[in-house]
Amino acid sequence: MAADTLARRLRDIVGAGHVLSEPDLREPYEGDWSGRFRGAARAVVRPADTAQVTAVVAACAEHGAPIVPQGGNTGLVGAGVPRGGEVLLSLRRLDAVGDVDAATAQVDAGAGATLAALQSAAAAAGLDAGIDFGARDSATVGGLTAADAGGRRALRHGTMRARVAGLEAVLADGRAIDRRTGVLKDNAGYDLPALLVGSEGTLGVITAVRVQLVPRLPERVVALVGLGDVEEAADLLARLRRDAPSLECADFFLDDGLQLVLDHLRLPAPLEPRAPVYVIVELAGRGDVTEELADALGEAHAVVGIDGTDRDRLWRLRESHTEAIAAAGVAHKLDVGVPLDRLAGFLDAVRETVEEAGARAVLFGHLGDGNVHVNVLGAEGDDVDEAVLRLVAERGGTISAEHGVGVAKARWLSLTRSEAEIAAMRAIKRALDPQNILNPGAVLA
């Protein structure tokens, strides 16, 4: 009876065509990108604007109905898909991108606008979004903010947190808050937008974000450098940080990961002889940066991409890791961060641990941020996940660098967060969402 009443309310708010109850219509929203997480939603609800989101959340709160917010559904920690019986709130229709405010270099983007749409709006105004990664055509501004996404350019521009100049969100009781003044200095009270960044849909539903853009740096050069080991990669990074002020990205992958990509894309090796470790470096500036790169690389074993096609060709080798791994099987994806001086030991220990468990590890990531994507293929159960996360904790790292904790890692949060920190997080969650209806089970188990 209550379920029917809620369904009727939701249809009245968003229109019958935007409440999807039939299994085949719900299906695309119910499974995640990796194929690892899936659950049946009570219904998929697709509001068109903030007013409708407000009314939907208020109706769900009245019925005590849990909600899973979803943007582009490219998240990799299982928190954007239902676990069973929640209302799946899709924000994709809130996809407007406003005019860029030239004086502040800021733009208002709806939560459902894709990263690619944000990048186009920025480029049209002669600016740059300052953030980029492979899922750009689907991942949304709301999802990026809720996950505090990073990507390859975080080295220079920070994670999404650094791009959020303000936001609008709907709280668990259905009230909206809006801090999109565009004013840089605003310390009147607690910084609620900051709290929502990285909250993974557990503290509020983000409806719009005022994004801080960055200057466009049109001159770019990319190099793929082959190295003997991870220590050499760390030395190269140190040299680049010192000698290459235009450094924008420094990612890494290993030779077995490269082989997986080459087989998947049917491509020849980019560098001969092959190397155990590869670092892909990008420099960006207003003027020519090729000489700066050449000086920093010295005699390194490298292939350089200067024009757009060559740069994209080199980046494809790094970005296609995710796709090549997905084609090889359903991977356990552990996005972690470790201090750079412990990276080499960590990678060795992960390999050993995963192989002992009879599984295969594919390792790559954002070298400059100490951010490693540990992909485990062929694992039985979650024991290997825990073993890898313990290796991270032992080295003073974080169990989540840029993908979030989600449901995948919620039970291990105490490995990197103290009892006092988790108690504070629970107190915040209780204060803002006393019924625990916003993405229950994500972040806090």
Ligand X SMILES: Cc1cc2nc3c(=O)[nH]c(=O)nc-3n(C[C@H](O)[C@H](O)[C@H](O)COP(=O)(O)OP(=O)(O)OC[C@H]3O[C@@H](n4cnc5c(N)ncnc54)[C@H](O)[C@@H]3O)c2cc1C
Query: Which residues are within 8 A (CB) of 241 and not within 5 positions of it... i.e. 6 or more apart?
Result: 247
Q: What is the x/- site pattern for ligand X, positions 288-327, by CB under 6 A?
A: ----------------------------------x-----
Strands (E), 295-439: 301-305, 332-337, 360-366, 371-377
CA atoms within 13 A on the CB side of 227: 23
Is the CB of residue 139 less than 8 Å from the CB of residue 115? yes
Question: Does residue 164 interact with ligand X by CB under 6 A?
Answer: no
For residue 111, how far is the Cα from the chain centroid?
15
- Give the range of 67-75, 97-105, 278-286, 383-391 binding ligand X by CB under 6 A: 67-75
CB of 442: closest distance to ligand X in angstroms? 6
Task: For Cα atoms 330, 333, 336, give the angle at the middle one, nearest 5 degrees.
Answer: 170
Return the residue of 82, 130, 143, 285 that touches ligand X, per CB under 6 A.
143
Q: Segment 341-370, which members bind ligand X (CB under 6 A)?
A: none
For the CB of residue 258, give the shortest distance to ligand X in the complex, in Å.
17
Q: Cis peptide leading into 273, omega within 30 of 0?
A: yes
Asked whether position 69 contacts ligand X by CB under 6 A, the answer is yes
Within 327-389, strands assigned E span 332-337, 360-366, 371-377
Question: Among the candidate windows 57-65, 120-128, 145-153, 224-232, which touches ligand X by CB under 6 A?
Answer: 145-153
Q: Among 141-149, 223-231, 269-277, 287-295, which window interacts with ligand X (CB under 6 A)?
A: 141-149
| Cα distance between residue 206 and residue 53, in whole Å | 10
For ligand X, the closer of residues 180 and 301 by Cβ is: 180
Residues 442 and 437: their CA atoms lie apart, in Å, by: 11
Contact residue for ligand X among 76, 87, 280, 432 (CB under 6 A): 76
The DSSP bridge partners found for residue 97 are 109
Is residue 172 within the footprint of ligand X (CB under 6 A)? no
Which amino acid type is present at position 380?
E
Query: What phi and psi, each to the nearest 5 degrees, are found at residue 245?
Result: -60, -15
Question: What is the C-alpha separation between 231 and 119, in angstroms, rounded?
Answer: 35
Q: Which residue shows structure tokens 């898909």?
A: 81
Q: Which is nearer to ligand X, 315 or 349 (CB)?
A: 315
What would the x/- binding string for ligand X be over residues 17 to 56, using CB under 6 A?
Answer: ----------------x-----------------------
Of the candidates 111, 208, 221, 384, which one interacts with ligand X according to CB under 6 A? 111
Residues in contact with ligand X, shown as a per-residue x/- string from 219 to 258 under the rule CB under 6 A: ----------------------------------------
Task: For residue 209, state whether it binds ligand X (rule: CB under 6 A).
Answer: no
Q: Which tokens hold the place of 428?
A: 């915040």
Say if CB 301 and CB 275 are below 8 A apart: yes
Cβ 157 vs Cβ 163: under 8 Å = yes
Residue 205 interacting with ligand X (CB under 6 A)? yes
Stretch that binds ligand X, among 97-105, 130-138, 303-311, 390-398 (CB under 6 A): 130-138
- Hey, what are 83's tokens? 């676990």
The residue within the footprint of ligand X, chosen from 147, 171, 379, 384 (CB under 6 A), is: 147
Structure token digits, residue 311: 């740069």
Smallest distance, ligand X to C-beta of residue 39, A: 13
Paired strand residues for 154: none
Smallest gap from residue 251 Cβ to ligand X (A):
9
Nearest distance, CB of residue 252 and ligand X, angstroms: 13
Give me the residues that bind ligand X (CB under 6 A), please: 33, 68-76, 79-80, 91, 111, 133-135, 138-140, 142-144, 146-147, 149-151, 200-201, 205-206, 322, 402-403, 439, 442
